Amino acid sequence: MTDRSALGPADVTDEQLTRMVADLMGTDPAETTLVCSSVEEVAYDLPAITTAGRFWVSGLAEVRGSEVPWALFVKHVQAWSRSPLFQLVPVEVRPMAAASVPWRTEPLVYRSDLCDRLPAGLRMPRAVGVFDLDDLSASVWLEVVETRPVEWDLPRYARAAELVGRLAASPRTVELAGVGEFDFALTDYLEGRLRHQVLPMLADQGLWSHPLVAPAFDPGLRERLLAAADRAGSLVDELSSLPYGASHGDACPNNLLVPAHGDDFVLIDFGFWGEMPLGFDLAQLLVGDVQVGRRSSAGLAEVDTAILRAYVAGLRAEGCRVPADVVRRAHALQLMIFTGLSTLPFELLDQEPTPALHHAAAERAAIARYSLELLDATA
């Protein structure tokens, strides 16, 4: 009745699991007995290069003569070098590539007291166990967050933006911006992914005539993207010079869960937590759902206006007086550098074009256009 073999190296002993279950339920470990447990792998359709697996672990525990159900979420994280996708990286740049992607950050965040420092209205799952599996992997055991389906309308986007703005500027969260122990500078992204992957692809003239690219990325858009690519170094330098704060790193709607009860957001996936320029989290909040096809690009400008205003309000609530136009410029630079330049559907080009793929390419092109427009408007 207790088979957790599907967890592989992320499994724990029955004694460890009993202690975590007792912690979860708030019971005395001495009065808690593990009756049974089982594992179900979580289906996930988005690639994650530092995640080896996600699992639901559930079962029954006996507490003072009564059997009580329990459930936990387990995330097995690993170094990028262990991902099958790492084999696609050219051999000569693998050492730099392996060092450029943090994997220890999330376990370190859950070992910290960040959960007690988040602004009211924002919380994170409670960790009942964090384990180092070896030098290149770890597991995190979390409470299960029950969610409810909601519409991401303008008020919801604005509320999320206000909270990540408060997170960015709160002295309590800023104190933990470096808890992930990952030494990252924006120039690392420039000299890494941009120089070795994105910019060479943009310079490939054959790519622009691909049947999936040509209809969506017209010659005018191509020239504007190439001009922005030529300025990548100066754009990174400018963004690096702007004020910094704490950043989740990937504050897309997919990582801002709406719990079944209450109106708080539950923030998950802290793999890119760190210190970044103010406004950094606005980009993925704006385009994250568009990138994965969950939302149309049609309302980008309207959503952007709402979230920028709310984000600045969040900064102000924490005493940050950085001018709104500086935050908007930082947002425009970040959107262009990390998203706009890489909007071409590189990962889809080996597939036979279909109406669905043509639509995806058109949505990527819309993100590119908006990124360029915002960059020009804030210059």
Query: The domain that contains 202 carries what CATH number?
Result: 3.90.1200.10
Q: According to the model, what pLDDT value does residue 46 have?
A: 67
By C-alpha distance, which of 94, 44, 87 is closest to 269?
A: 44
Q: Cβ distance 29 to 63 under 8 Å? A: no
Report the b/e string of 209-239 with b at 16+ CB within 10 A: ebebbeebbeeebbebbeebbeebeebbebb
- Among 144, 168, 191, the domain boundary falls at 144
Q: According to the model, what pLDDT value does residue 305 have?
A: 98
User: Average pLDDT of 335-351?
Assistant: 93
Q: According to the model, what pLDDT value does residue 94 have?
A: 81
Do 215 and 312 belong to one domain?
Answer: yes
Do 163 and 309 belong to one domain?
Answer: yes
Under DSSP, is residue 262 helix (H, G, I), strand (E, B) or coil?
A: coil
| Surface-to-core class of residue 339, CB atoms within 10 Å of its CB (0-12 exposed, 13-18 middle, 19+ buried) | buried
Indicate the pairing of strand 2-3 with strand 32-41: parallel
pLDDT value at 133 more than 90: yes
User: Average pLDDT of 225-254?
Assistant: 97
- Among 144, 163, 197, the domain boundary falls at 144
Whole-number average pLDDT of the chain: 94
Q: According to the model, what pLDDT value does residue 6 have?
A: 94
Do 84 and 192 belong to one domain?
Answer: no
Do 153 and 135 belong to one domain?
Answer: no
Instruction: State the pLDDT confidence band at 104, using cuts at 50, 70 and 90.
Output: very high
Q: For residue range 279-298, list pLDDT tens digits in order.
A: 999 999 999 999 989 999 99
Do 191 and 71 belong to one domain?
Answer: no
User: Average pLDDT of 288-314?
Assistant: 96
Q: For residue range 167-197, list pLDDT tens digits in order.
A: 999 999 999 999 998 888 999 999 888 998 8
Least confident interval from 39-53, 117-131, 357-371: 39-53
Structural domain boundaries, residue 289: 147-377
Do 87 and 171 belong to one domain?
Answer: no
Do 234 and 335 belong to one domain?
Answer: yes
Q: According to the model, what pLDDT value does residue 81 have?
A: 87
Do 30 and 70 belong to one domain?
Answer: yes
pLDDT value at 344 more than 70: yes
- Tell me how many domains the chain contains: 2
CATH number of domain containing 78: 3.30.200
pLDDT value at 269 more than 80: yes
pLDDT value at 88 more than 90: no
Long-range (24+ apart) CB contacts under 8 A made by 323-328 are 325/378, 326/242, 326/243, 326/278, 327/278, 327/279, 328/279, 328/378
Beta bridge partners of 59: 37, 70
Do 348 and 369 belong to one domain?
Answer: yes
In this structure, which amino acid lies at residue 321?
R
pTM metric for this prediction: 0.93
Do 264 and 357 belong to one domain?
Answer: yes
pLDDT value at 243 more than 80: yes
Do 95 and 168 belong to one domain?
Answer: no
Which residue do the tokens 């793929």 mark?
357
Under DSSP, is residue 122 helix (H, G, I), strand (E, B) or coil?
A: strand
- Among 86, 115, 144, the domain boundary falls at 144
Do 155 and 134 belong to one domain?
Answer: no
